[in-house]
Amino acid sequence: MFYHVKELQYRAKPDKPDPVYAKKLQEVLGGQYGEISVMMQYLFQGWNCRAEAKYRDMLLDIGTEEIAHVEMLATMIAQLLDKAPVEEQEAAAKDPVIESVMGGMNPQHAIVNGLGASPNDSAGYPWNARYTIASGNLLADFRANLNAESQGRLQVVRLYEMTDDPGVRDMLSFLIARDTMHQNQWLAAIAELEEKEGKVTPSTFNKQYEKTDVAYTFMSCSEGQDSETGRWASGTSMDGLSQFNYDPNPKAQGQNPTLNPAPGYIHGTPKFKK
């Protein structure tokens, strides 16, 4: 059960309206790495969690916090659209860079959303549930969460650089700081699980069914050997179970992929005799 507290988690009040920036801010609300994505990802991971209770509680704690971030961004976007001055939109569109990249204000903010936010990204593409990952394997999921927080923080930092509005920057600085904590949180949870399970997911697969002769070989599939200097090409493997080795010229080991003709009812292209 969720309860709504009327006050926002943190201030979300711009100094002045900016409908063009409201369009940009939609990315971290409804984009692939936006707050709606991590909110849904963490909540479903928590609701589906069959592991220790502490992991379920942690997931639902952070998932619930992300609901607060969605509310903050929606509130900020709505205020950036206050009065939505047509003259400001037209003035912004006169900048050739903004005109070509942003196209001014998002017209759906006025036409569809009544000067409010929407569950879309900055290009107007609707939020998609396929952005979320909840596999049931916590180590795999937590690594996906770390990626989501890394990409999300990167985007918020870029948005911070795109405005000089003190109120907007104040809210973004809070979100950036929370993303710092969340990245550290997932790193800590990943380290804890790796200590128990090892680094390769899933740890429950029987290695006798794995082609172990290629399990620790880096195959160079491009000209030159620059990749040989990387940590992934020599030394002890990251799981501690073997040694990395480098293959500068991997040989094909499979068959020539010649397929049989399709049956007539498929109406494909037949093989013609030479």
Q: Are residues 149 and 32 in the same domain?
A: yes
Q: Is the pLDDT of residue 116 over 90?
A: no
pLDDT tens for 172-187 read 999 999 999 999 999 9
**Residue 212: which domain range?**
207-247
CA gap 143, 248 in Å, rounded: 30
Q: What is the pLDDT of residue 76?
A: 97
pLDDT band at 111 (very low <50, low <70, confident <90, very high): confident
Structure tokens at 173: 């600085």
- Candidates 51, 5, 37; CA nearest to 125 is 37
Q: Is the pLDDT of residue 96 over 80?
A: no
Tell me the average pLDDT across 113-118: 87
Q: What is the pLDDT of residue 11?
A: 97
Q: What is the pLDDT of residue 101?
A: 46
Binding residues: 35, 57, 61, 66, 69, 149, 182, 222, 224
Would you tell me how many other CB atoms lie within 10 Å of the CB of residue 40? Answer: 20
Q: Which of 34-38, 62-66, 165-169, 220-224 is the least confident region?
A: 220-224
CA gap 170, 156 in Å, rounded: 12
Q: With respect to residue 138, please indicate whether it lies within any of the assigned structural domains.
A: yes
pLDDT band at 107 (very low <50, low <70, confident <90, very high): confident
- Mean per-residue pLDDT over the chain, rounded: 91
Binding residues for Ca(2+): 57, 61, 222, 224
How many structural domains are present in the chain? Answer: 2
Treating both helix axes as pointing N-terminal to C-terminal, what angle do 138-161 and 35-47 enclose, rounded to 10 degrees? Answer: 160
Q: Check which CATH number belongs to the domain holding 153 and give it.
A: 1.20.1260.10
Q: Are residues 170 and 211 in the same domain?
A: no
Q: What is the pLDDT of residue 84?
A: 67
Q: With respect to residue 3, please indicate whether it lies within any of the assigned structural domains.
A: no
Tell me the average pLDDT across 14-42: 96
Q: How far is CA 3 from CA 8, 65, 67, 72, 84, in A?
A: 13, 12, 11, 16, 32
Q: Are residues 123 and 216 in the same domain?
A: no
Q: Are residues 161 and 218 in the same domain?
A: no
Q: Are residues 126 and 238 in the same domain?
A: no
Tell me the average pLDDT across 7-36: 96
Q: What is the pLDDT of residue 152?
A: 98
Q: With respect to residue 5, please indicate whether it lies within any of the assigned structural domains.
A: no
Q: Is the pLDDT of residue 91 over 70?
A: no
Binding residues for Mn(2+): 35, 66, 69, 149, 182
Q: Are residues 94 and 183 in the same domain?
A: yes
Q: What is the pLDDT of residue 274?
A: 74
Q: Are residues 186 and 224 in the same domain?
A: no
Cα 14 to the chain's mean position, in Å? 26
Q: What is the pLDDT of residue 102?
A: 46
Q: Is the pLDDT of residue 34 over 60?
A: yes
pLDDT tens for 207-264 read 888 888 899 999 999 988 899 999 999 999 999 999 999 999 999 999 999 889 899 9
Q: Are residues 111 and 130 in the same domain?
A: yes
Is residue 81 a contact partner of residue 26, using CB atoms and an 8 Å limit? no
Q: Are residues 92 and 165 in the same domain?
A: yes
Q: What is the pLDDT of residue 93?
A: 58
Q: With respect to residue 102, please indicate whether it lies within any of the assigned structural domains.
A: yes
DSSP states along 119-172: SB-TTSPBP-GGG----S-HHHHHHHHHHHHHHHHHHHHHHHHT---HHHHHHH
Q: With respect to residue 262, please indicate whether it lies within any of the assigned structural domains.
A: no
pLDDT tens for 194-215 read 999 999 988 888 888 888 889 9
CA gap 44, 135 in Å, rounded: 10
Q: With respect to residue 257, please indicate whether it lies within any of the assigned structural domains.
A: no
Q: Are residues 184 and 153 in the same domain?
A: yes
Q: Which of 63-77, 150-164, 224-238, 260-274 is the least confident region?
A: 260-274
Q: With respect to residue 268, please indicate whether it lies within any of the assigned structural domains.
A: no
Q: What is the largest CA-CA distance in the chain?
A: 77
Tell me the average pLDDT across 80-98: 65
Q: With respect to residue 65, please indicate whether it lies within any of the assigned structural domains.
A: yes
Q: Are residues 193 and 217 in the same domain?
A: no
Q: Are residues 229 and 128 in the same domain?
A: no
